[in-house]
């Protein structure tokens, strides 16, 4: 549930790398390509013990552009996670998880955002030592799409590379997913905590 949410931050990252040099808007590039990747960790509760899992989002691309006022925006960002790549280190449990997601019909979980306001994210991330910023994501699992509120933090820049983390809670029930059980005794809980570590590379080429 890696959630592609990270894409929003891609916007932020691109801005920090490409537009924080202090020059005038007219001197900054009109657009800059962004390449991104992320590692996802999720934690599921159950009646026996918590179940950790990992996943990896598919490589994604976005473009940092400018709106009519010359301010940086990301028109569209999309991230996908392959259900087949989600791993809890238990083959039987992973099989149940894929059945829950109906991975044969819906092999990917998708997240997207539109017209990302980069400057707002920069301001929010710059507040306080923790530097957290709220992010609204459109998450699609099977045929159900919901708006999810995530939190971005731990922003770090090094040359053209930017890293940051995002975290959000997920309710299986809100996506019409029925939590699996083992022998009718051990049942997975409804709430899932998702954390993703993103790495973005911003191209400075004209």
Q: How far apart are CA 80 and CA 101, in angstroms?
A: 14
List of domains in the chain = 6-202 (2.40.128.110)
> pLDDT tens across 147-172, in order?
999 988 887 778 788 788 889 999 99
DSSP-derived secondary structure letter, 15: H
> pLDDT tens across 94-119, in order?
999 999 999 999 999 999 877 777 77
175 CB-near residues (< 8 Å, 6+ apart): 139, 141, 142, 144, 146
**Single pTM value for the model:** 0.79
At 96, give phi and psi (nearest 5°).
Answer: -65, -40
**Strand, coil or helix: what is 101?**
helix
């Amino acid at each position: 549930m890696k959630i592609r949410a990270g894409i929003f931050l891609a916007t932020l990252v691109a801005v920090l790398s490409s537009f924080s040099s202090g020059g005038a808007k007219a001197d900054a590039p009109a657009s800059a390509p962004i390449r991104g990747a992320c590692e996802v960790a999720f934690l599921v509760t159950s009646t026996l013990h918590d179940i950790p899992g990992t996943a990896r989002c598919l490589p994604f691309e976005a473009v940092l552009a400018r709106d009519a006022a010359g301010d940086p925006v990301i028109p569209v960002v999309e991230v996908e996670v392959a259900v087949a790549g989600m791993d809890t280190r238990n083959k039987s449990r992973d099989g149940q998880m894929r059945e829950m997601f109906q991975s044969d019909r819906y092999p990917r979980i998708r997240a997207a955002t539109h017209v990302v306001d980069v400057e707002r994210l920069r301001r929010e991330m710059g507040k306080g030592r923790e530097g957290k910023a709220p992010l609204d994501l459109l998450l699609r699992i099977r045929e159900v799409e919901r708006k999810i509120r995530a939190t971005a933090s731990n922003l770090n820049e090094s040359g053209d590379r930017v890293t940051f983390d995002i975290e959000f809670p997920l309710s299986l029930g809100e996506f019409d997913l029925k939590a699996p059980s083992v022998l009718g005794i051990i049942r997975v809980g409804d709430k899932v905590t998702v954390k993703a570590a993103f790495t973005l590379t911003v191209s400075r080429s004209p």
